[in-house]
Amino acid sequence: MKLVRKNGDESLEFYNTTNGLPRGSYAVQSSPYGVLAVVSLMDEYKKMGEVLFATKMSQKLSGLEQVMTFDTVTFDEVSPTAFEMPKEIKTLLTQKKSGAAVVPAIPAIK
């Protein structure tokens, strides 16, 4: 399937004709090194919880290949505290709301 994004970038995506799962994509991308072709492949789907997940993904770019394999994937196990603002940011926001001068702390140079 050919995709054309709003910015004009194009890519080709490939799907398994039996089950409809994504198999890969081909795109040409601009970089500081010129125009590069990128081939991405997805394989070895396994059920992880309720999600069918590609446990092997690879990207080929300029003769190099990067392969990623996943043994396990978990969902919804992130602690709510992971999304809390750091204490320093909360302090800055409180100062800004109160109209106090906001002066970020500058780390000491040793």
Structural domain boundaries, residue 56: 2-74
Please say whether the beta carbons of 13 and 24 come within 8 A: yes
Residue 24 DSSP SS3: strand
Q: What is the pLDDT of residues 77-89, one digit of tens each?
A: 888 888 888 888 8
Q: Is residue 19 part of a domain?
A: yes
Predicted pLDDT of residue 82: 86
Predicted pLDDT of residue 70: 94
Q: Tokens for 71?
A: 């043994």
Q: Tokens for 101?
A: 């001068």
Residue 67 DSSP SS3: strand
Predicted pLDDT of residue 42: 96
Pairing, β 64-69 against β 51-61: antiparallel
Q: Is residue 93 part of a domain?
A: no
Q: Tokens for 37?
A: 């072709």
Q: How many domains does the chain have?
A: 1
Q: Is residue 104 part of a domain?
A: no
Q: How far apart are CA 87 and CA 78, in angstroms?
A: 19
Q: Is residue 16 part of a domain?
A: yes
Q: Is residue 98 part of a domain?
A: no
For residue 95, CA distances in Å to 18, 83, 90, 92, 106 come to 59, 21, 9, 5, 17
The label of the residue with tokens 């196990």 reads 77
Q: Is the pTM of this model over 0.75?
A: no
